[in-house]
Amino acid sequence: QCAARIPEAGAVLDLLEKCPEHQKKGDFPVVVFEGLDATGKTTITQSVKNTLNGILLRSPPACISQWRAIFDDEPAPIKRAFYAAGNYILASEIAKASTQAPVIIDRYWHSTAAYTIATEINGKVQDLPPVNDEVYQWPEDLLKPDLVL
């Protein structure tokens, strides 16, 4: 619906539609590094990639990262939709790459979930969703990594 106002939304959805459903991981390990901005994720992911002779992927994936600034200026629901779509596009890239080499990922679903929670609670810890809330549950249709650090 927002494609008329944000033409890039149509391009993101086109990429998302090309992703196969229920992607399966290859035989190589998939390791995600999560953390706040400027905490060394880029440095450590590059080092681990070099050490393991792996493939480095980032969230949002390169094919949509040029539109990140556009979506970051949008209201929270649109921004979250962009990053959620990016996770599924990235999952498709992970599935392919993990058939070739170890895959190292700079952010993935956890960052999207953390942002969603943070924007919903307005910084008040007492407003956190209850422990069993679905926001904490890994999406059933999203490829899971082997390890998250």
The CATH number for 33's domain is 3.40.50.300
- Full domain range(s) for residue 11: 2-148
On the question of pLDDT at 2 being above 70, the answer is: no
Q: What token pair was written down for 142? A: 């999203």
pLDDT in tens, 61-100: 988 888 888 888 888 888 888 888 899 889 999 999 999 9
What residue has token string 């998939």? Answer: 30
pLDDT for the residue numbered 3 = 61
- Structural domains of the chain, count: 1
pLDDT in tens, 18-57: 767 777 899 999 999 999 889 999 999 999 999 999 999 9
More confident residue, 58 or 124: 58
| Under 8 Å between Cβ of 109 and 138 | yes
Distance CA(106)–CA(55), nearest Å, equals 11
Per DSSP, the three-state class of 55 is: strand
H or E segment to which residue 104 belongs: strand 103-106
